Structure 1
Amino acid sequence: MEITDNLIELLIQIVHRIGVRAERKVEKEILNDLRKLSNKYGILFNMAQSAVSNPEGVLRDVIIPVVNEQTLRDLIKEIKHTGPAYREKINTIIRASYGSHYRRMVPEILGILEFRSNNEVHRPVIRALELVKKFSDTGYHYLPMSEEIPIDGIILTVNKEIIVEKDEKGQERINRMNYEISVLQALREKLRCTKIWVAGANRYRNPDHDLPTDFEERREENYKALKQPLDRKHSLQH
């Protein structure tokens, strides 16, 4: 049990470490590279007002006099370091870190552990893990579309564009490495809240085993101790 728990902890730490390091690196780059603009809305207002007042004018004659070129460059940098661009930068670093250091190790750990769930809602993650293991020794850049590839509960909306790509014909295809990372991130969250458990583990054991063996027989007493109504309909009405 201890060995199994240690392997699970290692897996969770790897996934967490990759994400945290990427965020720290991006934030450090931003701090080193970015000169915060204290009055960006005023700058944008001046630019817009000047452009509207001189719709036929050229950039150098209309915009530069009210906002110098360096300020424009700083404004562009700030916008690039927020929103989708910020997320994209983090994903790029996560991918590089995972591909360079952890991608060979993770399938070995996954091959040792047997993941299970008592709820069908969370089983797509387990099916996705099987795909990760199945194609770990291949050089495929994309997962074969002949496979049944779980999407819901695996791919976050903010990451969908970097995982579900389109070829020149507009056909969707799944970027294998980015999908693997997304699967591991989903697995980490499910393990931490015991929605997914591991056979032979102690800390990450089947949560049903934590219930008293006579729970149903002593249902009324147990619900009273939990301060929960015995009648589920009554609970829903309140």
Structure 2
Amino acid sequence: MRLNKFLAQAGIASRREADRLIAAGRVKVNGRVVREMGVQIDPDRDQVMVDGRPVRPRPATYTYLLLNKPAGYITSRKDPQGRRTIYDLIPKRYHHLHPVGRLDYPSEGLVLLTDDGELTQRLTHPAFRHEKEYWVQVAGQVPEVTLHKLRKGVTLADGPARARVRYLGKIPPEQRFWIQPDPRHTWLVFILHEGRNRQIRRMCEAVGLRVRRLIRVRIDAIHIHDLKPGQWRLASKRQLKAIRRIREA
């Protein structure tokens, strides 16, 4: 990072004024006075001082946006086939944000968009083992023995896969406006620590189940709650606290 940019981001001065401070010999990097323009520093390793006082970078501020993706949208910026994308659902001022993981075209539910690369890495890399919870409606009635097979693990083309699986039971009141019980079919809860392409759909196919709806409701402690399909909102204070915990773990 350029030294003048670092000083500006730290709130010391504008970039132009920072250049004046540097030219005047008032800035030191690792104990040495720096007068040259365009000097590059590493904010994490180099010590910067102005007028004898250490300069610390301000904590970066990031944006976290929660979207309830309806079926029939692509989790991408553009689609060669001209299909609608999740960016059609959010204001243009948030189009610089990227999705944390993906939901396929027919899937629904929580998509987290952010400009926080550290959080994205922690939530998408399986080594960190952050939970993702999905509610899955499958056709017909599902015996317990089938759930046992899914828990034990099935073999897919890209390797073995298993999940924590249970019956959904009673649908929470805040989700009843878009998730209705149907005695002809079964709602299941899948909890994964990874997110391979179409993993849940392929696991269900492996044990003879046909998926009718697939909805992601939670990423770690970030829950969709009462967010309606097609709606978005910025992370709440409680969700920001959960995000901070994930980043610092």
Q: Specify if TM > 0.5.
A: no
Which structure has greater helix proportion? 1
TM class, shorter-length: under 0.3
Which structure has greater strand proportion? 2
State which structure, 1 or 2, has the greater radius of gyration over its C-alpha atoms. Answer: 1
TM-score (norm 1): 0.26
